[in-house]
A and B are shown apart, each in its own frame.
Chain A
Amino acid sequence: MSHLDALPPWAAILVAVFVLLGALLAFVGSLGLLRLKNFYQRVHAPTLGTTLGTFFMLAASITCFSVLHGRPIFYEVLIGVFLTLTTPITLMLLVRAALYRDREEGSADVPQVTPKD
């Protein structure tokens, strides 16, 4: 562990907390994907990992590399921007396709539309 010794203690603790939080959120998201009952509930769970989990992991990575190299490094922001832009698009496409397939079959899983007034 040569390069991690160069980190000052405050940075090491900050990176450790960020990494643990990010991994925990991704874990909870995947657990929801496994445990929830039907598709329209399951589609919500992994977004926990793609938004907040990715945010914490990227914060850990930025802190670690910026302190190690002694200059600000922001490559990781690209991943964050990209995931934030693309996750809603993919999930909207996927849920539209699922709705279409379920309505074709008359499945009982389709969420009912509640009237406005």
Chain B
Amino acid sequence: MKNNWWKILAALLLVFTVIAGLLTEVPRLAILNETIRNLFFHVPMWFGMIVILLVSVVYSVKYLRNPSIKNDVIAYESAKVGILFGVLGIITGMEWAKFTWGEYWSNDPKQNAAAIGLLLYFAYLVLRSSFAEQQQRARISAVYNIFAFFALIPLLFILPRLTDSLHPGNGGNPGFNSYDLDNRLRLVFYPAVIGWTLLGVWIVNVKSRLELLKQRLYETV
């Protein structure tokens, strides 16, 4: 119980996000209309993905410094959950784009960059599954993971800002912050980001423990 308070916090924040996210007052904006509430569900997927992939990189670095099965398992499981969040982010983004930008895929620079970023991580999964030997697999995929993360950062946060983009905060478009100043959106947005991220960390926690149990079972049998 003492070590699990953050799981309860995650559940509470997510329940708050769903209830307040649908019922709170939001700015009345043309085109966006009520879809501005997607801010509480689409954007936290990407924030969560970045945090969880950062966890993955940290454990990959830890593995290279101290090769233990635990570090490798956590790096792998968090990369998988990060990819799940990214896929959900890109699908929710397409659904939102269809009804505000007119197309599921309008070749927006940030959309394209996010797709390339996800492909980099799919390559991580393929690379990983192509080694039979455990230490080789762990070491090479840890090195690749570090490269993939540092390729993803400019793809998502730098390159789209250098050109015109439909996404807020890029090119000539204002960020959400410019009409966000009444703090009504922030009041739900920050808890939503923390809640969804903690949910991802929770899934990583459970999956890594299960995987480590499996490894120990194989050791003892």
Chains A and B form a bound pair = no
Which residues of B approach A to under 8 Å, CB–CB? Answer: none
